[in-house]
């Protein structure tokens, strides 16, 4: 009923009169107080109140307001707390209502220009207008409940790689933006495909959006990862692959693979996800975007060559989408040329610079070399972690070149590697000691010969 209320001149005048009677009430309304939303006869008075408070930090008197606005404003007299509660509730709805009206009117021209992202931003901002009522958390009050809430609402989900989970204090959290960074052909898509398979194995519903590879190629990689069959052998055993995939489906969550051309925006992603959920009747648990650099901003028209600004808007919009959907999320980004010869990555190696790094929750560099590939390994480096102490941690993961699966390295293999390394170090140390001993004996012998020679002289 309140939404259909006619906010005419008289009721708006009452809002200003009641607001003027109590500085505390005006202060609570100040965050959403916009003179542009008032009746044109009251707009001048509302602007005067706003400017007066900003300049003098006190409210003007009724006489001052009447003189300035050419209207007769009256003091409502002594009011009770319930009157001010009424004003707060009414004024919040009035502001939202008028802001939405204004946004709809301003959207007409934007729609004609095809600026749909700007239209969405206007409408969303209007709908979200409200008074600040949540004052946050009292740190000292009920710490157990606070921690239980974090655990239940934002509990971390395993990536499927234990060592990475340990470094991140459990894995990835819903609403976070996680970025895998590598050079061209450095394994970005492989990591995202393996992550999709890992999460599906946990029973999660995963959406894999590809802006580069075809849907068929992504699915072919997943065939190898999930069935364990070499990608070169798949077409020789199509019937067996079908049986294995169907058997895996019973214990896995859904994996939906969708190709989109580069240049799409987060609004396109949002529209697709809404359509997917309506058509399937299922909620998504994770969204993987392959990859972030190929998205464009939704609400801003910018020069696509300005990577810093473009990536700033895209990464912020993508993270907001993940927060809105309350899903797990990961994407990928390109490393620049400066990273080609490096064995340790930092923020300067990310294509586009710091803008996406600043927005992301975790940034994971993928390092590969000829020696690592021959050993069947990838090394990942934690370039940024927002919620853990794993910064700069390096983790070796096993890579099966036949079935494209990326897995934790077995502890026995790790121990064997450490033992081998330790043995080599010991051998080197022993060799050095032996050389030192030989040199010492040689020096002693030469010294004795010299003394005997001098004595005989």
Domain boundaries, the chain: 2-127, 156-412
* Domain topology for 156-412: Rossmann fold (3.40.50)
Question: So what's the pLDDT on residue 352?
Answer: 61
Peptide bond before 23: cis, by omega within 30 degrees of 0?
no
Question: So what's the pLDDT on residue 96?
Answer: 93
Question: So what's the pLDDT on residue 184?
Answer: 81
Pick from 27, 72, 71, 73: nearest CA to 50: 27
Roughly how many angstroms between the first and final C-alpha of the chain, as a whole number? 125
Question: So what's the pLDDT on residue 427?
Answer: 43
- Judge whether 417 and 200 are in contact, CB under 8 Å: no
- 3-class DSSP state of 312: helix
Question: So what's the pLDDT on residue 421?
Answer: 45
Phi-psi region of 157 (alpha: psi -120 to 50; beta: other; left: phi over 0): beta
- Burial of residue 398, with CB atoms counted within 10 A of its CB: 0-12 exposed, 13-18 middle, 19 or more buried: middle
Helical H runs in 114-234? Answer: 116-127, 143-153, 162-167, 188-201, 215-227
Say how many C-beta atoms besides its own lie within 10 A of residue 78's C-beta: 7
Pick from 396, 306, 319, 301: nearest CA to 351: 306
- Judge whether 402 and 412 are in contact, CB under 8 Å: no
Question: So what's the pLDDT on residue 50?
Answer: 93
Question: So what's the pLDDT on residue 428?
Answer: 43
Question: So what's the pLDDT on residue 189?
Answer: 93
- Rounded Cα distance between 325 and 342, Å, is 37
Crossing angle for the helix pair 215-227 and 238-249, nearest 10 degrees?
A: 80
pLDDT in tens, the chain (457 residues): 444 578 899 999 999 999 999 999 999 899 899 999 999 999 999 999 999 999 999 999 999 999 988 899 999 999 999 999 999 999 999 999 999 999 999 898 888 887 777 787 788 888 888 887 767 778 788 888 877 776 665 568 999 999 999 999 889 999 999 999 888 888 899 999 999 999 999 999 999 999 988 999 999 999 999 999 998 899 988 999 999 999 999 899 999 999 999 888 888 898 899 899 988 999 999 999 998 888 888 766 676 667 777 888 888 999 999 999 999 999 998 886 655 556 666 656 666 657 788 888 999 999 887 788 778 899 999 988 887 778 888 999 999 989 999 999 876 555 554 454 444 444 445 544 555 554 554 445 455 554 554 455 5
Pick from 230, 301, 234: nearest CA to 263: 301
Helical H runs in 57-80? Answer: 62-69
């Amino acid at each position: 009923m309140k939404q259909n209320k006619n906010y005419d001149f008289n009721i708006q005048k009452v809002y200003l009169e009641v607001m003027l009677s109590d500085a505390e009430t005006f202060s609570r309304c100040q965050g959403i107080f916009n003179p542009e939303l008032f009746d044109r006869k009251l707009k001048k008075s509302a602007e005067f109140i706003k400017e007066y408070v900003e300049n003098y930090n006190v409210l003007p008197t009724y006489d001052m307001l009447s003189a300035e606005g050419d209207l007769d404003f009256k003091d409502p007299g002594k009011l009770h707390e319930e009157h001010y509660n009424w004003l707060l509730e009414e004024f919040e709805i009035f502001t939202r209502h008028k802001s939405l009206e204004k946004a709809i009117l301003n959207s007409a021209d934007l729609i004609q220009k095809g600026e749909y992202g700007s239209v969405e931003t206007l409408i969303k901002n209007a709908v979200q207008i409200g008074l600040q009522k949540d004052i946050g958390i009292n740190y000292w009050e009920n710490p157990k409940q606070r921690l239980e809430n974090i655990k239940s609402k934002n509990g971390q989900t395993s990536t499927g790689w234990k060592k990475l989970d340990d470094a991140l204090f459990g894995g990835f959290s819903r609403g976070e933006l996680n970025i895998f960074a590598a050079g061209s052909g450095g394994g970005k898509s492989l990591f995202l495909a393996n992550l999709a398979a890992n999460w599906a194995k946990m029973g999660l519903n995963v959406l894999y959006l590809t802006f580069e590879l075809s849907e068929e190629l992504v699915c072919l990689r997943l065939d190898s990862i999930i069935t364990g069959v070499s990608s070169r052998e798949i077409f020789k055993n199509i019937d067996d692959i079908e049986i294995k995939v169907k058997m895996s489906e019973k214990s896995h969550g859904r994996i939906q693979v969708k190709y989109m051309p580069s240049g799409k925006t987060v609004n396109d992603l949002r529209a697709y996800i809404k359509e997917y959920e309506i058509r399937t009747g299922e909620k998504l648990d994770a969204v993987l975007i392959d990859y972030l650099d190929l998205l464009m901003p939704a609400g801003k028209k910018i020069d696509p060559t300005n990577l810093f600004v473009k990536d700033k808007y895209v990464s912020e919009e993508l993270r907001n989408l993940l927060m809105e959907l309350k899903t797990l999320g990961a994407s990928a980004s390109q490393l620049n040329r400066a990273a080609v010869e490096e064995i340790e990555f930092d923020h300067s190696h990310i294509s586009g610079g710091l803008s996406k790094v600043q927005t992301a929750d975790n940034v994971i560099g993928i390092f590969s070399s000829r020696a690592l590939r021959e050993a069947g390994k990838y090394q990942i480096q934690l370039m940024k972690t927002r919620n853990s102490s794993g910064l700069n941690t390096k983790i070796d993961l096993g890579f099966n070149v036949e079935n494209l699966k990326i897995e934790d390295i077995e502890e026995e293999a790790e121990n064997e590697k450490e033992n081998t390394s330790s043995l080599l170090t010991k051998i080197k140390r022993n060799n050095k000691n032996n050389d030192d001993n030989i040199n010492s004996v040689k020096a002693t012998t030469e010294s004795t010969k010299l003394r005997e020679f001098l004595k005989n002289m």
